[in-house]
């Protein structure tokens, strides 16, 4: 892997040196690497996960704020959660070393792209261009009635004045452009993600508990098509026994040491 002029400030952690070397070897031996990321990827940016280490502790229940059925029944619940929890964690979040390292791998032509379950947009902010967002993006909003789009800033201002948030055009209910529990995933995005998994020879899985669909499925699709699997996740995952590489640690520093080394 070619060292590059761009290198963020970080102090290498000697505990990760051997892991980073093994992961780098795997990536160098591969011709078509794809990354697959979950909520753990953004923990070091200050955004909590739903499960396991880094979990969100709040009075809000993810079965409610992430459910389309509940959104229609009690939309103010989502908007309270947005105002109290989601907005403060996302507003100031910046890409961490792990996001920057994946963007750098793509820039060097080593990584085909990132398939992500995350809805925070941090991969793009880090410079990744090829990002398949399976669950949409929490920075975009739209009116359920007329389709008018709203960005994060606009809904942030509106939610302080009214709850739930309504459209300026038509008074319709405004919702986030994320896929909630009970909604279908976008077919084209899923199709592309499947193709990437079928065509890769190394799937680098970062920060996902791999217990829910479709997260649980992608590694198996890639593996069945002959790819090697590598996992960086703080907690163990159900597929640890069948992968080529596992590191149970925070991803940021390890990825940085994998990409930027002496």
Active site residues: 135
- Contact partner at residue 40 from Zn ion, ligand NAD, none, CB < 5 to 8 Å by partner kind: ligand NAD
Please say which residue, 36 or 196, places its beta carbon nearer to ligand NAD: 36
- What residue ranges bind ligand NAD (CB under 6 A)? 38-40, 42-44, 47, 49-54, 117-120, 135, 207-209, 215, 232-235, 250-251
How far is it, in rounded angstroms, from Cα 163 to Cα 73? 14
What six digits make up the tokens of 10?
């970080």
Binding residues among 147-176 for Zn ion as defined by CB under 5 A: 148, 167, 169-170, 172
Please say which residue, 53 or 192, places its beta carbon nearer to ligand NAD: 53
- Contact partner at residue 172 from ligand NAD, Zn ion, none, CB < 5 to 8 Å by partner kind: Zn ion
Please say which residue, 18 or 170, places its beta carbon nearer to ligand NAD: 18
How far is it, in rounded angstroms, from Cα 123 to Cα 118? 9
Alpha helices for 43-86 (secondary structure H): 62-65, 68-73, 75-81
Q: Is the peptide bond before 152 cis (omega within 30 degrees of 0)?
A: no
- Contact partner at residue 47 from ligand NAD, Zn ion, none, CB < 5 to 8 Å by partner kind: ligand NAD
Which part of the chain contacts Zn ion (CB under 5 A), choosing from 98-106, 137-145, 200-208, 251-259? 137-145
What six digits make up the tokens of 95?
């890409």
**Which runs of E-coded beta strand occur in the chain?**
33-37, 111-116, 131-133, 136-143, 149-151, 174-178, 202-206, 228-232, 245-247
Q: Least distance in Å: CB of 191 to Zn ion? A: 30
Residue 155 contacts by C-beta under 8 Å, 6 or more apart in sequence?
A: 82, 141, 165, 174
- Kindly list the residues in this chain that would bind Zn ion in the complex (CB under 5 A): 143, 145-146, 148, 167, 169-170, 172
């Amino acid at each position: 892997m070619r060292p590059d002029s761009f290198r963020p400030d970080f102090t290498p952690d000697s505990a990760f040196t051997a892991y980073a070397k093994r992961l780098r070897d795997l990536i160098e031996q591969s011709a078509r690497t794809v990354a697959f990321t979950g909520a753990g990827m953004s923990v070091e940016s200050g955004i909590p996960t739903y499960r396991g280490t880094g979990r969100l502790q709040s009075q809000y229940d993810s079965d409610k704020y992430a459910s389309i059925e509940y959104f229609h029944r009690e939309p103010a619940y989502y908007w309270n959660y947005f105002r109290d929890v989601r907005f403060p964690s996302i507003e100031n979040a910046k890409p961490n070393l792990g996001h920057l390292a994946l963007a750098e791998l793509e820039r060097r032509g080593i990584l085909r792209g990132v398939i992500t379950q995350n809805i925070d947009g941090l991969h793009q902010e880090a410079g990744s261009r090829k990002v398949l967002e399976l669950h949409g993006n929490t920075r975009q909003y739209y009116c359920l009635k007329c389709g008018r789009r709203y960005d994060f800033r606009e809904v942030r201002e509106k939610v302080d004045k009214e709850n739930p948030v309504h459209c300026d055009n038509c008074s319709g209910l405004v919702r986030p452009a994320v896929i909630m529990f009970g909604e279908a995933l976008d077919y084209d995005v899923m199709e592309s993600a499947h193709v990437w998994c079928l065509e890769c020879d190394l799937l680098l899985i970062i920060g996902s508990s791999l217990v829910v669909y479709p997260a649980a499925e992608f590694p198996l699709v890639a593996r069945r098509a002959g790819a090697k699997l590598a996992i960086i996740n703080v907690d163990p995952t159900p597929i640890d026994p069948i992968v080529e590489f596992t590191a149970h640690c925070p991803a940021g520093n390890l990825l940085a040491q994998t990409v930027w080394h002496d």
